[in-house]
Structure 1
Amino acid sequence: MDIYTKMKDEFSPIFVGGTGRSGTTIMADYLNSHSSLVAPIHENKLIVEESGVRSLVESLSRGYDYKGNHYAISRFISWANTIRTPGFRNKTLNFLYRGTNRALYSITKKRIPAAQVCRAFSFWDFSLIGVGTSYGISHYDSCVEQFLADVIGETDAYGIVDTEGLIKPVYSPSTSDREELLQHSRNFLNALNKPKMLEAGAQSWCDDTPLNALYAHFLLELYPTGKVVHMVRDPRDVAASYSEKSWASSDLELILNRLKRQYRELIKVEESLPKQSFRSFRLEDFAYEPDIQKSELCSFLGLDTNGFDGSVTFEAASFGRWKKKFSANVAQIVERQLSEVCAHFGYRT
């Protein structure tokens, strides 16, 4: 039987999201330690991120627009290829990069931070992650190929000449019906995750892409019986964590402004969705009240509290790091900027 055999919505996936740096990864690890669940990979950025499944469904379901439809499909193809393997798309440069990293690691046990390499060679296409590598290249390619076969109705190999010059090939969608597109998307994701589920003996899967929380409405339309776990961490600690990362902005004011705007959108999502589908959990509570939080999480997700293998625990060591990271003056600015958000999620200022 073809691995992409059309499947009904038999799964109720769990989507973990947040601002980033808020505990999404450890929550996915925690859920993965449950006997009925598997986190196939960390952060499948082919689902909700721009140019992924969500963008494709939103664009094609608006109706027929030959150039708009073409570019939506073309962007998905490009994005699926970009995140297929980590590193540079240029094979020669990627060979040199990987070889240098291996040599450096054999001597120093350290690798060149990928974010630094990306900044240094910004004129070359680069991916920090390899979704295809994590799933297995052959399996990933076959699933993407079948999804595109379902979504693309016609391919004009001759192309057209328009304002921007030659567009070749030109893709036309097989349908603009939203429910059909959602079903194609479910089939794709179910097939992509099925081998990992079978390997783990799991009944369903989870994903921890941070943007899952922001796009919870789409995810719950895609999987009506799914659940969204919104991970919250002290916003001041989130700001401190972002300020330390080489891949993030070095401008703290910009970090704070982005976080405030992101929190506002997340609060809107939280307030607009039913609590049986979307729920916020504080990272700190899992460290200080592990049994209570496990019980509440399992009640929300419909899981057996005894299903966890005990391999993942939540540590409190990084809590309050903003007090050490920022000077007194900067800490006051951070508190003032994030006071409204802190109050909403129950953090004292």
Structure 2
Amino acid sequence: MRRVEAGGPVDEILDRPIFVGGTGRSGTTVAGRLLNVHPQLTLTRPRELRFIASALGVAEAYWTVTEGRIPRIKRTPPRNPLKRALRVAFPYPQKPSRVTPDLVVQSLWTHWFEREKPSGAVNGLSLALSRDALEAAAASYLADFDSDPYVATRRFVAAVLAPQMAQQGGKRWVDTTPANARAADRMIALFPDAKIVHMMRDGRDVAASFAGKKFGPNNVMVGLEAWRMRMLDAHRAELAVPEGTVIRIDLQRLVVTHRQATLSRLLSCIDVPANPTFRQWFAENISAKEAKPGRWRKDFSVDDCVLIDRRYGEILEELRAVGAPYPVRADDSMRVQRLKRRREGSRRPAGPAESSSPEPALPADDH
């Protein structure tokens, strides 16, 4: 079901939103910071709304009543027989395949209104509106959902965003909830004119990054499995939406190897112009360190790195086999960059670290 309401405040607030997603630890924060600087865009508060795309969110409730069961990617069974037996005896908790508006509202208070960050700071929808205002919006959502789930859901999202968007003078909003990429089909069902930016990063670095956090998979091999599932799910979702709706951006290309070309492609795909001030901010504030390429080699022993790299290679083969996109291998692209710098250094006298010549264009297939 794809339709757009005929004008009014709801449509003004929900005009051409941009949903940035990924696997988690894949560059959504970097992309959000960057896009927030553009004069035509604004980052939501909180920057990860979550209540739209995440499990038990409004997009899943709408999908349930219009399409039925919510597709879920299955985990790979463990190879070790003992671990496989334990998985059967103690299965992972399953996300429901059908979501109701009541589950959505319940999750507002248990997951999304106030979330404590690892630092102890409070995040969540409480940054956007008061408890009373959210309770009123949720009550209207529940009351109206059965008669028109599309209108009820869009009005609910608009009510959450209205206080902050009233101060933004018609800017388009950017949400960086990681689940956006793998929920692209559900998001476009609710927001037909939206764009989905899928941030991709070397899965070994993603898994290593998760292992050092208090949230997400704290084991690097489990982290690789989570990366695999999320990449497959994002591919499934991308195939279900019109071509050009999803823009894949490789973090390594954006911040290290093909900076200006990737930035230009991103802005073109989301239909916003680049201006000199914006490009200057990008040059001065988004550096190669944002990608932390090859961190997985630094965080683990040589023996562990062999196992990590072997499993990652198997996952990439699986992605290739089904035609799914995958990011460049960060260590390979860094090696190419070093060789390029050496060649350039042998041809010209020492000068600025970064060439002023145009960067090579990205290939059409952003693998």
Task: State the TM-score, normalizing by the size of structure 1.
Answer: 0.71
1:252 paired with 2:234, answer no
Q: Secondary structure at the match of 1:229?
A: strand
Shift of 1:62: 6.7
1:325 paired with 2:299, answer yes
RMSD: 2.9
1:201-224 Cα distance to aligned partner (Å, 9 max, x none): 342101000000000001111111
Give the Cα separation in 2 of the matches to 1:16 and 1:55: 18
- On the 8 A contact 2:252/2:328 being kept in 1, the answer is no
Give the Cα separation in 1 of the matches to 2:156 and 2:101: 15
2:130 to 132, 137, 149: 137
Give the Cα separation in 2 of the matches to 1:130 and 1:316: 28
Aligned to 1:44: 49
Give the Cα separation in 2 of the matches to 1:189 and 1:149: 11
Aligned length: 279
Give the Cα separation in 2 of the matches to 1:62 and 1:19: 24
- On the 8 A contact 1:216/1:269 being kept in 2, the answer is yes
Which is richer in strand? 1
* Residue ranges of structure 2 left out of the alignment (5+ in a row): 1-7, 69-95, 321-325, 333-367
Give the Cα separation in 2 of the matches to 1:26 and 1:144: 32
2:32 to 22, 28, 33: 28
1:151 to 126, 137, 142: 142
- On the 8 A contact 1:13/1:226 being kept in 2, the answer is yes
1:134-283 alignment to 2 at 5 Å?
A: 134-137=127-130, 141-152=132-143, 174-175=146-147, 180-283=148-251
1:290-310 Cα distance to aligned partner (Å, 9 max, x none): 221221111101001117375
1:19 paired with 2:23, answer yes
Residue type of the partner of 1:346?
A: V
Aligned to 2:87: none
1:59-104 Cα distance to aligned partner (Å, 9 max, x none): 44479xxxx9x982332222112222235xxxxxxxxxxxxxxxxx
* Residue ranges of structure 1 left out of the alignment (5+ in a row): 88-110, 115-127, 154-172
Shift of 1:257: 1.9
Flag the 1:257–1:146 CA change in 2: closer, same or farther, 3 A.
closer
Aligned to 1:308: 278
1:345 paired with 2:345, answer no
Shift of 1:320: 1.5
Give the Cα separation in 1 of the matches to 2:163 and 2:278: 21
Shift of 1:228: 0.2
Give the Cα separation in 1 of the matches to 2:125 and 2:226: 30
1:84-133 Cα distance to aligned partner (Å, 9 max, x none): 2235xxxxxxxxxxxxxxxxxxxxxxx9755xxxxxxxxxxxxx853232
Identity across the alignment (%): 25
1:76 to 101, 104, 110: 104
- On the 8 A contact 2:63/2:186 being kept in 1, the answer is no
Give the Cα separation in 1 of the matches to 2:103 and 2:235: 30
Shift of 1:337: 1.4
Shift of 1:235: 1.2
Give the Cα separation in 2 of the matches to 1:345 and 1:309: 24
- On the 8 A contact 1:143/1:188 being kept in 2, the answer is no
Give the Cα separation in 1 of the matches to 2:44 and 2:119: 24
